[in-house]
Structure 1
Amino acid sequence: MKYLFLVLIWFSGVVLSNAQENNTKEIDSLYKEDHFYAGVTYNLLDNKPTDLNQSGFSLGFHLGYIKDMPINKNRNVAIGIGLGYSTNSFNQNLLVNKDSTGDFVYSIIEDDQTYTKNKFSSHLIEVPIEFRWRTSTPSEYNFWRIYTGFKFGYAVINSSKYEGDLGRLKYTNNRDFNNFQYGLTMSAGYNTWNFHIYYPLNSIFSKDVIVEGKQLNLNVIKIGLMFYIL
Protein backbone atom coordinates (compact mmCIF):
# COMPACT_ATOMS: atom_id res chain seq x y z
CA MET A 1 0.00 0.00 0.00
CA LYS A 2 2.83 2.40 0.78
CA TYR A 3 4.46 1.80 -2.60
CA LEU A 4 1.11 2.28 -4.32
CA PHE A 5 0.75 5.64 -2.57
CA LEU A 6 4.19 6.66 -3.81
CA VAL A 7 3.29 5.76 -7.37
CA LEU A 8 0.03 7.71 -7.13
CA ILE A 9 1.85 10.81 -5.87
CA TRP A 10 4.36 10.62 -8.71
CA PHE A 11 1.70 9.93 -11.33
CA SER A 12 -0.58 12.75 -10.19
CA GLY A 13 2.31 15.21 -10.20
CA VAL A 14 3.38 14.26 -13.72
CA VAL A 15 -0.15 14.29 -15.11
CA LEU A 16 -1.03 17.66 -13.64
CA SER A 17 2.27 19.13 -14.73
CA ASN A 18 1.73 17.94 -18.29
CA ALA A 19 -1.81 19.23 -18.20
CA GLN A 20 -0.53 22.65 -17.27
CA GLU A 21 2.03 22.59 -20.10
CA ASN A 22 -0.51 21.61 -22.72
CA ASN A 23 -3.37 23.77 -21.55
CA THR A 24 -3.88 27.00 -23.47
CA LYS A 25 -5.78 29.65 -21.57
CA GLU A 26 -5.88 33.35 -21.07
CA ILE A 27 -2.83 34.72 -19.25
CA ASP A 28 -3.61 35.75 -15.68
CA SER A 29 -1.45 38.70 -14.60
CA LEU A 30 -2.56 38.13 -10.98
CA TYR A 31 -1.60 34.46 -10.97
CA LYS A 32 -0.71 32.45 -7.87
CA GLU A 33 1.23 29.19 -7.64
CA ASP A 34 1.49 25.86 -5.85
CA HIS A 35 -1.66 25.71 -3.76
CA PHE A 36 -1.57 21.97 -3.06
CA TYR A 37 1.34 19.80 -1.97
CA ALA A 38 2.01 16.08 -1.54
CA GLY A 39 5.23 14.53 -0.34
CA VAL A 40 7.03 11.47 0.90
CA THR A 41 10.01 11.47 3.28
CA TYR A 42 12.42 9.10 4.95
CA ASN A 43 12.30 9.76 8.69
CA LEU A 44 15.77 9.72 10.23
CA LEU A 45 15.94 9.59 14.02
CA ASP A 46 18.53 11.94 15.49
CA ASN A 47 20.06 12.36 18.97
CA LYS A 48 19.70 8.62 19.56
CA PRO A 49 21.12 6.75 22.54
CA THR A 50 24.15 4.67 21.56
CA ASP A 51 22.29 1.37 21.26
CA LEU A 52 19.12 2.70 19.62
CA ASN A 53 19.00 1.71 15.96
CA GLN A 54 16.51 2.10 13.14
CA SER A 55 15.45 -0.87 11.04
CA GLY A 56 13.59 -1.09 7.75
CA PHE A 57 11.93 1.97 6.27
CA SER A 58 10.61 4.76 8.46
CA LEU A 59 8.40 6.78 6.14
CA GLY A 60 6.32 9.94 6.23
CA PHE A 61 3.48 10.98 3.92
CA HIS A 62 2.37 14.60 3.70
CA LEU A 63 -0.63 16.30 2.07
CA GLY A 64 -2.04 19.79 2.32
CA TYR A 65 -3.11 23.15 0.96
CA ILE A 66 -1.13 26.39 1.07
CA LYS A 67 -2.55 29.84 0.32
CA ASP A 68 -0.07 31.59 -1.95
CA MET A 69 0.21 35.35 -1.33
CA PRO A 70 2.62 37.15 -3.73
CA ILE A 71 4.38 40.17 -2.22
CA ASN A 72 6.10 41.72 -5.27
CA LYS A 73 4.98 43.08 -8.64
CA ASN A 74 6.34 40.12 -10.63
CA ARG A 75 4.56 37.74 -8.24
CA ASN A 76 7.54 35.41 -8.08
CA VAL A 77 8.13 36.12 -4.37
CA ALA A 78 5.37 35.14 -1.98
CA ILE A 79 4.36 34.13 1.51
CA GLY A 80 2.52 30.83 1.89
CA ILE A 81 0.37 29.78 4.85
CA GLY A 82 -1.38 26.43 4.83
CA LEU A 83 -3.03 23.49 6.52
CA GLY A 84 -1.99 19.88 6.07
CA TYR A 85 -1.93 16.32 7.31
CA SER A 86 1.10 14.13 7.96
CA THR A 87 1.50 10.49 8.98
CA ASN A 88 4.88 9.16 10.12
CA SER A 89 6.27 5.80 11.19
CA PHE A 90 9.51 4.93 12.97
CA ASN A 91 10.85 1.36 12.98
CA GLN A 92 13.50 0.96 15.66
CA ASN A 93 14.50 -1.02 18.78
CA LEU A 94 13.16 1.25 21.54
CA LEU A 95 10.62 -0.77 23.53
CA VAL A 96 7.64 1.10 24.96
CA ASN A 97 6.00 -0.84 27.80
CA LYS A 98 4.17 -0.30 31.08
CA ASP A 99 5.21 -1.22 34.61
CA SER A 100 3.00 -2.60 37.37
CA THR A 101 1.76 0.89 38.26
CA GLY A 102 0.66 1.65 34.72
CA ASP A 103 3.48 4.11 34.00
CA PHE A 104 5.29 3.93 30.69
CA VAL A 105 8.85 2.59 30.75
CA TYR A 106 11.41 2.62 27.95
CA SER A 107 14.30 0.30 27.19
CA ILE A 108 16.51 -0.80 24.32
CA ILE A 109 15.63 -4.25 23.01
CA GLU A 110 18.58 -6.58 23.56
CA ASP A 111 20.21 -8.39 20.64
CA ASP A 112 19.18 -11.79 22.00
CA GLN A 113 15.49 -10.82 22.06
CA THR A 114 13.39 -11.82 19.07
CA TYR A 115 10.73 -9.51 17.68
CA THR A 116 8.98 -9.06 14.34
CA LYS A 117 7.65 -5.55 14.82
CA ASN A 118 8.59 -2.58 16.94
CA LYS A 119 7.61 0.91 15.89
CA PHE A 120 5.86 4.06 16.93
CA SER A 121 3.85 6.30 14.65
CA SER A 122 2.03 9.61 14.63
CA HIS A 123 -0.70 11.44 12.74
CA LEU A 124 -0.37 15.21 12.72
CA ILE A 125 -2.34 18.24 11.66
CA GLU A 126 0.22 20.74 10.40
CA VAL A 127 0.46 24.44 9.63
CA PRO A 128 3.28 25.24 7.16
CA ILE A 129 4.49 28.82 6.72
CA GLU A 130 6.78 29.45 3.76
CA PHE A 131 8.80 32.24 2.19
CA ARG A 132 8.61 31.42 -1.52
CA TRP A 133 10.95 32.38 -4.36
CA ARG A 134 10.46 31.05 -7.89
CA THR A 135 11.23 31.85 -11.55
CA SER A 136 7.59 31.65 -12.66
CA THR A 137 5.77 34.04 -14.98
CA PRO A 138 2.05 34.31 -15.88
CA SER A 139 2.63 32.01 -18.87
CA GLU A 140 5.44 29.74 -17.57
CA TYR A 141 4.40 26.63 -15.64
CA ASN A 142 7.82 24.97 -15.44
CA PHE A 143 10.10 26.91 -13.12
CA TRP A 144 12.72 26.71 -10.41
CA ARG A 145 11.63 27.22 -6.82
CA ILE A 146 13.16 27.56 -3.37
CA TYR A 147 10.66 27.56 -0.51
CA THR A 148 11.94 27.93 3.03
CA GLY A 149 9.93 28.19 6.20
CA PHE A 150 8.60 26.80 9.42
CA LYS A 151 6.15 24.00 10.10
CA PHE A 152 4.08 23.60 13.24
CA GLY A 153 2.30 20.29 13.91
CA TYR A 154 -0.05 18.81 16.48
CA ALA A 155 -0.23 15.02 16.89
CA VAL A 156 -3.88 14.01 17.05
CA ILE A 157 -2.89 10.34 17.40
CA ASN A 158 0.31 8.60 18.45
CA SER A 159 0.81 4.89 18.91
CA SER A 160 3.46 2.26 19.60
CA LYS A 161 3.37 -1.40 18.56
CA TYR A 162 5.52 -4.38 19.49
CA GLU A 163 5.30 -8.04 18.49
CA GLY A 164 7.89 -10.47 19.80
CA ASP A 165 9.03 -12.54 22.77
CA LEU A 166 6.99 -10.37 25.15
CA GLY A 167 3.81 -10.94 23.16
CA ARG A 168 1.85 -8.13 21.53
CA LEU A 169 1.99 -4.64 23.01
CA LYS A 170 0.03 -1.71 21.65
CA TYR A 171 -0.44 1.69 23.25
CA THR A 172 -2.28 4.71 21.86
CA ASN A 173 -1.97 8.39 22.78
CA ASN A 174 0.98 7.93 25.08
CA ARG A 175 1.16 11.04 27.27
CA ASP A 176 4.97 10.98 27.10
CA PHE A 177 4.90 11.93 23.43
CA ASN A 178 5.20 15.61 22.59
CA ASN A 179 1.96 16.38 20.79
CA PHE A 180 3.39 19.70 19.60
CA GLN A 181 6.08 19.31 16.94
CA TYR A 182 7.79 22.11 15.07
CA GLY A 183 10.81 22.68 12.87
CA LEU A 184 12.40 24.36 9.86
CA THR A 185 11.62 23.33 6.28
CA MET A 186 13.08 23.79 2.82
CA SER A 187 11.87 22.61 -0.59
CA ALA A 188 13.91 23.25 -3.73
CA GLY A 189 13.69 21.97 -7.27
CA TYR A 190 12.37 22.35 -10.79
CA ASN A 191 8.86 21.71 -12.02
CA THR A 192 7.32 18.58 -10.41
CA TRP A 193 10.36 17.24 -8.55
CA ASN A 194 11.52 19.03 -5.42
CA PHE A 195 13.96 18.01 -2.72
CA HIS A 196 12.48 18.52 0.75
CA ILE A 197 13.97 18.58 4.25
CA TYR A 198 12.44 19.12 7.68
CA TYR A 199 14.80 19.91 10.57
CA PRO A 200 13.24 19.54 14.04
CA LEU A 201 13.48 22.11 16.81
CA ASN A 202 12.05 19.94 19.60
CA SER A 203 12.00 16.33 20.78
CA ILE A 204 9.51 13.58 19.95
CA PHE A 205 9.21 12.76 23.67
CA SER A 206 8.78 14.85 26.79
CA LYS A 207 11.65 15.59 29.16
CA ASP A 208 10.41 12.91 31.57
CA VAL A 209 11.43 9.98 29.34
CA ILE A 210 14.58 8.27 30.60
CA VAL A 211 16.52 5.59 28.68
CA GLU A 212 19.64 3.96 30.08
CA GLY A 213 19.75 6.57 32.85
CA LYS A 214 19.68 9.55 30.50
CA GLN A 215 16.98 11.87 29.23
CA LEU A 216 15.74 10.87 25.78
CA ASN A 217 16.09 13.85 23.41
CA LEU A 218 15.07 11.91 20.31
CA ASN A 219 13.96 13.95 17.30
CA VAL A 220 13.39 13.32 13.62
CA ILE A 221 14.93 14.74 10.45
CA LYS A 222 12.70 14.20 7.40
CA ILE A 223 14.31 14.00 3.95
CA GLY A 224 12.45 13.31 0.74
CA LEU A 225 10.48 14.68 -2.20
CA MET A 226 7.73 17.29 -2.31
CA PHE A 227 5.31 17.75 -5.21
CA TYR A 228 3.56 21.11 -5.63
CA ILE A 229 0.33 21.27 -7.63
CA LEU A 230 -1.49 24.39 -8.79
Structure 2
Amino acid sequence: MKNSIFIIFFMLGFQWVSSQDTPNTVVDSLYKEDHFYAGITYNLLGNIPNSIKQSGFSTGFHLGYIKDMPINKNRDVAIGIGLGYSTNSFNQNLLVNQNTSGDFEYSILKDRSTYSKNKFSMHLVELPIEFRWRTSTPTVYDFWRIYTGFKLGYVFAHTTKHVGDLGVLKYGDVDGFNDFQYGLTLSVGYGTWNFHVYYALNPIFSNIAKIDNERIDMNAIKVGLMFYIL
Protein backbone atom coordinates (compact mmCIF):
# COMPACT_ATOMS: atom_id res chain seq x y z
CA MET A 1 0.00 0.00 0.00
CA LYS A 2 2.80 2.41 0.91
CA ASN A 3 4.56 1.72 -2.40
CA SER A 4 1.36 2.42 -4.36
CA ILE A 5 0.85 5.75 -2.59
CA PHE A 6 4.50 6.70 -3.24
CA ILE A 7 4.13 5.94 -6.95
CA ILE A 8 0.98 8.06 -7.23
CA PHE A 9 2.56 11.11 -5.59
CA PHE A 10 5.81 10.66 -7.55
CA MET A 11 3.84 10.72 -10.81
CA LEU A 12 1.89 13.80 -9.66
CA GLY A 13 5.14 15.59 -8.91
CA PHE A 14 6.55 14.62 -12.29
CA GLN A 15 3.44 15.98 -13.98
CA TRP A 16 3.81 19.34 -12.20
CA VAL A 17 7.44 19.70 -13.29
CA SER A 18 6.82 18.62 -16.87
CA SER A 19 3.83 20.96 -17.29
CA GLN A 20 5.67 24.20 -16.46
CA ASP A 21 5.92 26.67 -19.34
CA THR A 22 9.35 27.49 -20.71
CA PRO A 23 10.29 30.43 -22.97
CA ASN A 24 11.10 28.14 -25.90
CA THR A 25 8.01 25.94 -25.70
CA VAL A 26 7.18 24.45 -29.11
CA VAL A 27 3.47 24.22 -29.89
CA ASP A 28 2.55 20.68 -30.89
CA SER A 29 -0.53 20.82 -33.14
CA LEU A 30 -0.74 17.01 -33.04
CA TYR A 31 -0.64 16.79 -29.26
CA LYS A 32 -2.13 13.94 -27.24
CA GLU A 33 -3.16 13.88 -23.57
CA ASP A 34 -3.29 11.75 -20.44
CA HIS A 35 -1.33 8.65 -21.37
CA PHE A 36 -0.62 7.44 -17.83
CA TYR A 37 -3.08 7.13 -14.97
CA ALA A 38 -2.91 6.38 -11.26
CA GLY A 39 -5.83 6.14 -8.89
CA ILE A 40 -6.99 5.32 -5.40
CA THR A 41 -10.55 4.22 -4.58
CA TYR A 42 -12.81 3.31 -1.72
CA ASN A 43 -14.32 -0.08 -2.56
CA LEU A 44 -17.95 -0.91 -1.91
CA LEU A 45 -20.03 -4.04 -2.37
CA GLY A 46 -23.24 -3.74 -4.33
CA ASN A 47 -26.24 -6.05 -4.48
CA ILE A 48 -25.38 -7.61 -1.14
CA PRO A 49 -27.67 -9.79 0.98
CA ASN A 50 -28.92 -8.24 4.23
CA SER A 51 -26.69 -10.59 6.20
CA ILE A 52 -23.43 -9.35 4.65
CA LYS A 53 -21.92 -6.17 6.09
CA GLN A 54 -18.79 -4.27 5.18
CA SER A 55 -16.39 -3.17 7.89
CA GLY A 56 -13.25 -1.09 8.03
CA PHE A 57 -11.81 0.70 5.01
CA SER A 58 -11.64 -1.23 1.74
CA THR A 59 -9.21 0.23 -0.78
CA GLY A 60 -8.14 -0.09 -4.38
CA PHE A 61 -5.00 1.10 -6.19
CA HIS A 62 -4.85 1.44 -9.96
CA LEU A 63 -2.01 2.15 -12.41
CA GLY A 64 -1.76 1.97 -16.15
CA TYR A 65 -1.16 3.38 -19.62
CA ILE A 66 -3.78 4.51 -22.14
CA LYS A 67 -3.12 5.19 -25.82
CA ASP A 68 -4.80 8.53 -26.58
CA MET A 69 -6.24 8.76 -30.11
CA PRO A 70 -7.89 12.11 -30.97
CA ILE A 71 -10.76 11.83 -33.46
CA ASN A 72 -11.50 15.49 -34.31
CA LYS A 73 -9.54 18.45 -35.67
CA ASN A 74 -9.36 20.28 -32.33
CA ARG A 75 -8.11 17.07 -30.66
CA ASP A 76 -10.37 17.63 -27.66
CA VAL A 77 -12.36 14.46 -28.38
CA ALA A 78 -10.53 11.14 -28.35
CA ILE A 79 -10.71 7.40 -27.90
CA GLY A 80 -8.41 5.80 -25.33
CA ILE A 81 -7.38 2.14 -25.17
CA GLY A 82 -4.93 0.95 -22.53
CA LEU A 83 -3.46 -1.62 -20.21
CA GLY A 84 -3.35 -1.43 -16.43
CA TYR A 85 -2.98 -3.12 -13.07
CA SER A 86 -5.42 -2.98 -10.16
CA THR A 87 -5.32 -4.33 -6.61
CA ASN A 88 -8.44 -4.29 -4.43
CA SER A 89 -9.47 -5.38 -0.95
CA PHE A 90 -12.93 -5.82 0.57
CA ASN A 91 -13.39 -6.04 4.35
CA GLN A 92 -16.67 -7.74 5.26
CA ASN A 93 -18.19 -10.64 7.22
CA LEU A 94 -18.32 -13.34 4.54
CA LEU A 95 -16.20 -16.24 5.81
CA VAL A 96 -14.44 -18.45 3.28
CA ASN A 97 -13.23 -21.69 4.84
CA GLN A 98 -11.98 -25.01 3.53
CA ASN A 99 -13.58 -28.18 4.87
CA THR A 100 -11.90 -31.53 5.49
CA SER A 101 -12.60 -32.71 1.94
CA GLY A 102 -10.81 -29.69 0.46
CA ASP A 103 -13.93 -27.85 -0.73
CA PHE A 104 -14.48 -24.18 0.05
CA GLU A 105 -17.53 -23.18 2.04
CA TYR A 106 -19.11 -19.74 2.45
CA SER A 107 -20.88 -18.56 5.59
CA ILE A 108 -21.77 -15.39 7.49
CA LEU A 109 -19.87 -14.21 10.56
CA LYS A 110 -22.65 -12.86 12.76
CA ASP A 111 -20.67 -11.76 15.81
CA ARG A 112 -18.15 -8.98 15.04
CA SER A 113 -16.36 -9.57 18.33
CA THR A 114 -15.20 -13.05 17.25
CA TYR A 115 -12.73 -11.79 14.64
CA SER A 116 -10.37 -8.88 14.02
CA LYS A 117 -9.94 -9.26 10.27
CA ASN A 118 -11.95 -10.82 7.48
CA LYS A 119 -11.40 -9.82 3.88
CA PHE A 120 -10.77 -10.92 0.34
CA SER A 121 -8.39 -9.32 -2.13
CA MET A 122 -8.03 -9.38 -5.91
CA HIS A 123 -5.25 -8.50 -8.35
CA LEU A 124 -6.24 -7.74 -11.92
CA VAL A 125 -4.76 -6.97 -15.31
CA GLU A 126 -7.16 -4.51 -16.91
CA LEU A 127 -8.06 -3.27 -20.39
CA PRO A 128 -9.67 0.21 -20.15
CA ILE A 129 -11.51 1.71 -23.14
CA GLU A 130 -12.55 5.35 -22.86
CA PHE A 131 -14.44 7.98 -24.83
CA ARG A 132 -12.70 11.24 -23.91
CA TRP A 133 -13.88 14.84 -23.99
CA ARG A 134 -11.75 17.69 -22.65
CA THR A 135 -11.16 21.43 -22.99
CA SER A 136 -7.45 21.06 -23.73
CA THR A 137 -5.34 22.95 -26.28
CA PRO A 138 -1.68 22.50 -27.30
CA THR A 139 -0.63 25.07 -24.66
CA VAL A 140 -3.17 24.51 -21.85
CA TYR A 141 -2.12 21.93 -19.26
CA ASP A 142 -5.03 22.30 -16.83
CA PHE A 143 -8.40 21.61 -18.37
CA TRP A 144 -11.81 20.08 -17.77
CA ARG A 145 -12.25 16.45 -18.74
CA ILE A 146 -15.06 13.91 -18.89
CA TYR A 147 -13.87 10.40 -19.66
CA THR A 148 -16.42 7.60 -19.77
CA GLY A 149 -15.93 4.03 -20.83
CA PHE A 150 -15.70 0.32 -20.17
CA LYS A 151 -13.08 -1.72 -18.35
CA LEU A 152 -12.37 -5.44 -18.65
CA GLY A 153 -10.24 -7.08 -15.98
CA TYR A 154 -8.66 -10.52 -15.64
CA VAL A 155 -8.29 -11.67 -12.03
CA PHE A 156 -4.88 -13.36 -12.00
CA ALA A 157 -4.66 -13.70 -8.21
CA HIS A 158 -7.01 -13.55 -5.24
CA THR A 159 -6.77 -14.33 -1.54
CA THR A 160 -9.06 -14.56 1.47
CA LYS A 161 -7.88 -13.91 5.02
CA HIS A 162 -9.57 -14.37 8.39
CA VAL A 163 -8.07 -13.66 11.80
CA GLY A 164 -10.25 -14.52 14.79
CA ASP A 165 -11.49 -17.23 17.11
CA LEU A 166 -11.10 -19.78 14.30
CA GLY A 167 -7.43 -18.90 14.03
CA VAL A 168 -5.66 -17.49 10.99
CA LEU A 169 -7.27 -18.74 7.80
CA LYS A 170 -5.61 -17.63 4.58
CA TYR A 171 -6.33 -19.09 1.16
CA GLY A 172 -5.29 -18.38 -2.39
CA ASP A 173 -6.75 -19.77 -5.60
CA VAL A 174 -10.19 -20.12 -4.01
CA ASP A 175 -12.88 -21.79 -6.09
CA GLY A 176 -15.77 -19.41 -6.53
CA PHE A 177 -14.22 -16.17 -7.80
CA ASN A 178 -15.01 -15.06 -11.32
CA ASP A 179 -11.88 -14.95 -13.47
CA PHE A 180 -13.10 -11.85 -15.30
CA GLN A 181 -14.52 -8.58 -14.02
CA TYR A 182 -16.01 -5.94 -16.28
CA GLY A 183 -17.85 -2.71 -15.74
CA LEU A 184 -18.51 0.94 -16.59
CA THR A 185 -16.16 3.80 -15.69
CA LEU A 186 -16.46 7.57 -15.38
CA SER A 187 -13.79 10.16 -14.60
CA VAL A 188 -14.73 13.85 -14.24
CA GLY A 189 -12.52 16.67 -13.10
CA TYR A 190 -10.26 19.64 -13.72
CA GLY A 191 -6.48 19.55 -13.78
CA THR A 192 -4.89 16.99 -11.50
CA TRP A 193 -7.92 16.05 -9.40
CA ASN A 194 -10.58 13.88 -10.99
CA PHE A 195 -13.53 12.10 -9.43
CA HIS A 196 -13.65 8.45 -10.56
CA VAL A 197 -16.27 5.72 -10.30
CA TYR A 198 -16.33 2.12 -11.49
CA TYR A 199 -19.48 -0.01 -11.46
CA ALA A 200 -19.06 -3.74 -12.13
CA LEU A 201 -21.62 -5.35 -14.41
CA ASN A 202 -20.96 -8.91 -13.25
CA PRO A 203 -20.64 -10.52 -9.79
CA ILE A 204 -17.35 -11.00 -7.95
CA PHE A 205 -18.20 -14.64 -7.30
CA SER A 206 -19.21 -17.39 -9.72
CA ASN A 207 -22.10 -19.86 -9.47
CA ILE A 208 -19.95 -22.12 -7.27
CA ALA A 209 -20.00 -19.69 -4.34
CA LYS A 210 -23.26 -20.04 -2.39
CA ILE A 211 -24.67 -19.38 1.07
CA ASP A 212 -27.41 -21.82 2.03
CA ASN A 213 -27.68 -22.84 -1.65
CA GLU A 214 -28.19 -19.25 -2.78
CA ARG A 215 -25.76 -17.59 -5.16
CA ILE A 216 -23.69 -14.64 -3.92
CA ASP A 217 -24.41 -11.93 -6.50
CA MET A 218 -22.31 -9.13 -5.00
CA ASN A 219 -20.57 -6.78 -7.43
CA ALA A 220 -17.80 -4.23 -6.98
CA ILE A 221 -18.33 -0.48 -6.83
CA LYS A 222 -15.23 1.74 -6.64
CA VAL A 223 -15.33 5.46 -5.86
CA GLY A 224 -12.28 7.67 -5.57
CA LEU A 225 -9.73 9.85 -7.34
CA MET A 226 -7.96 9.34 -10.65
CA PHE A 227 -4.84 11.20 -11.71
CA TYR A 228 -3.93 11.51 -15.40
CA ILE A 229 -0.34 12.27 -16.36
CA LEU A 230 1.28 13.40 -19.61
User: TM-score, normalised on structure 2?
Assistant: 0.94
Tell me the CA shift for residue 51 of structure 1. Answer: 1.6
Residue 158 of structure 1 is matched in structure 2 by 158
Q: In the superposition, relative to structure 1, how do residues 23 and 35 fare at CA in structure 2: closer, same or farther (>3 Å)?
A: farther
Tell me the CA shift for residue 215 of structure 1. Answer: 1.3
Aligned length: 229
Task: Give, in whole Å, the separation in 2 of the partners of 1:167 and 1:23.
Answer: 60
Residue 19 of structure 1 is matched in structure 2 by 18
1:181 aligns with 2:181: yes
1:124-178 deviation digits (Å, cap 9, x = unpaired): 0000000000000011111000000000000110000111111111110112100
Q: Which runs of 5+ in 1 are unaligned?
A: none
Task: Give, in whole Å, the separation in 2 of the partners of 1:166 and 1:153.
Answer: 33
Whether contact under 8 Å (1:17, 1:191) holds in the other structure is no
Residue 214 of structure 1 is matched in structure 2 by 214
Provide the alpha-carbon RMSD of the alignment: 1.6
Residue 121 of structure 1 is matched in structure 2 by 121
Task: Give, in whole Å, the separation in 1 of the partners of 2:33 and 2:22.
Answer: 16
Residue 51 of structure 1 is matched in structure 2 by 51
SS of match in other structure, 1:22: coil
SS of match in other structure, 1:21: coil
Tell me the CA shift for residue 204 of structure 1. Answer: 0.3
1:69-108 alignment to 2 at 5 Å? Answer: 69-108=69-108
Tell me the CA shift for residue 49 of structure 1. Answer: 1.4
Query: Identity, % of aligned pairs?
Result: 64
Task: Give, in whole Å, the separation in 2 of the partners of 1:132 and 1:79.
Answer: 6
Tell me the CA shift for residue 218 of structure 1. Answer: 0.8
Task: Give, in whole Å, the separation in 2 of the partners of 1:229 and 1:161.
Answer: 35
Residue 172 of structure 1 is matched in structure 2 by 172
Q: In the superposition, relative to structure 1, how do residues 20 and 222 fare at CA in structure 2: closer, same or farther (>3 Å)?
A: same
Tell me the CA shift for residue 112 of structure 1. Answer: 6.4
Residue 141 of structure 2 is matched in structure 1 by 141
Task: Give, in whole Å, the separation in 2 of the partners of 1:112 and 1:200.
Answer: 28
Residue identity matched to 1:22: D
Tell me the CA shift for residue 15 of structure 1. Answer: 4.7
Whether contact under 8 Å (1:113, 1:165) holds in the other structure is no
Task: Report runs of 4+ in structure 1 exceeding 6 Å deviation.
Answer: none
Per mean C-alpha deviation after superposition, the further-off stretch among 143-152 and 23-32 is 23-32
Task: Give, in whole Å, the separation in 2 of the partners of 1:71 and 1:127.
Answer: 20
Q: Which runs of 5+ in 2 are unaligned?
A: none
Residue 130 of structure 1 is matched in structure 2 by 130
SS of match in other structure, 2:97: strand
Residue 191 of structure 1 is matched in structure 2 by 191
Residue identity matched to 1:9: I
Whether contact under 8 Å (1:17, 1:192) holds in the other structure is no
SS of match in other structure, 2:86: strand
User: TM-score, normalised on structure 1?
Assistant: 0.94
Whether contact under 8 Å (2:175, 2:208) holds in the other structure is no
Per mean C-alpha deviation after superposition, the further-off stretch among 46-55 and 59-68 is 46-55
Tell me the CA shift for residue 213 of structure 1. Answer: 4.1
SS of match in other structure, 1:17: helix
